[in-house]
Structure 1
Amino acid sequence: MGVEIDDPADVSELRGAPESFKRFVARTVEQLQAEEKCPGAAVGVTVQTLRTDGFAIGGVNACGGYEALWAQVDGTWKEVYGTQDSLDCAVLRRYRVPSDVAGDTCYDYKGKKEHSYHQA
C-alpha cells in the first residue's frame, strides 16, 4: 500500500480503508503535528499494509520515526506496538496479528531469539 499521510485530509488516499481507521490516522497525524518539535522534519504516518478486519502496519514520523503496529481492540483502533527493531513475538501472539501484516518472523525478547511466525 505505502500511503503517506502528512495532512489529515490525506486519509482520503486510503482507498477501501474503514472510516474508523481513517479517523484514527487523521487524529494521529493531528497529534503528531501539534507535538512537532523539529521544524522541517517529515511529520506523519505511512500505512504500508492494512487489513479491513482490524490490523495495519506502517511508519510514524516525527523528528525520527518508528514502525507502528495498529489493531482494533474492543472496537477501537490503537497503536499496540512501536519499534525500531524486530516485532515482538509476544505482542503478535497477544493480538493474533496475521502474518500478511506482521511478516513471517518475530523476536522473542525474553529468550533473545528470532522465531518463525505464522498466523492466518
Structure 2
Amino acid sequence: MSTSPRVTVPVLLLVALVLVLTGARLATSSAAPAPEHHRDGTLLDFDRKDGRAVLPFTSEDVPKAPASFRRFVRSELTRTWKQELGGLPACRTSPRITVDTLRTDGFALGDVFSKPLKSCPNSGGGYIAIWAIRKGAWKQVIGTQEVVDCSRLERFDIPAELGIDQCYEGNEVVPYTHP
C-alpha cells in the first residue's frame, strides 16, 4: 500500500507540530529550574610563604585563613605526624600542608605532603587536597594525585574558582566550570 505525497506531507507536518507543541509544553511544565548558586565567600589566594603550615604550628602558618581552618590544619598536621609517621620526634617537622586558595564560605585547595627526612624513615610523598566545611567542620573531601571525576566535584559543590579548571567526564578530561 502506498500513500500519495499529498497525504504524507500534511501528516508529517501535523505530527511535527504536535511533537513540538507537546515537547515545549513538557519542557515548561515539568522541568525543574536550574539551581542558582549564590556564593557569599571571598576567595583568598596564598603564596608559598603565607600558605605554608608545618609543625610546630605557629601564628606564621596560614595567617590569612579563618581561625576554624587554621585549627583544622594544625590538627591534620598532628594527626599525620602521630598516625602516619608514628609520632617519632625526628618526624615532627616532616608533615606539611600548603594552601593555594581558600573560599571563606567553606572551600579550600592545597597540598598535603611529608618532606623526606633521613631521620624519618616513612616520610616523603603527598597529594592534592580539597577541603570543605561539612556538618559545621572542615574536612578533607578529596585527596588525589590526578584529575578528579566531574561528578565527584559537583557532588561536593566545589567551586571552580578555587583553581580547579578540569575534571574527568567518563574517560575524557573536560573543562570544569562549576560556579
Q: TM-score range by the shorter chain?
A: 0.7 to 0.9
* Amino acid aligned to 1:18: P
- Pick from 150, 159, 169: which aligns with 1:89? 150
Aligned-pair Cα RMSD in Å: 2.1
Q: Is the 8 A contact 1:20 1:77 kept in 2?
A: yes
Measured in 2, the distance between the counterparts of 1:5 and 1:119 equals 28
Report the counterpart of residue 114 of structure 1 in structure 2.
173
TM-score with structure 1 length normalisation? Answer: 0.85
Structure 1 residue 13: deviation in Å? Answer: 3.2
Residue 89 of structure 2 corresponds to residue 27 of structure 1: no
Distance in 2 (alpha carbons) for counterparts of 1:23 and 1:90: 29
Gaps of 5+ in 2: 1-45, 115-123
Contact 1:33 1:44 in 2 (8 A): no
Measured in 1, the distance between the counterparts of 2:163 and 2:140 equals 14
Secondary structure, in 3 states, of the residue corresponding to 1:13? coil
Segments of 5+ residues of structure 1 without an aligned counterpart are none
What is the total number of aligned residue pairs between the two structures?
Answer: 118
The share of aligned pairs that are identical, in percent, is 37
Kindly indicate whether structure 1 or structure 2 has the higher relative contact order, using CA contacts under 8 Å at least 6 residues apart: 1
Aligned counterparts of 2:59 and 2:143: Cα–Cα separation in 1: 21
Which structure shows the bigger proportion of residues in strand conformation?
Answer: 1
**TM-score normalized with structure 2 length:** 0.59
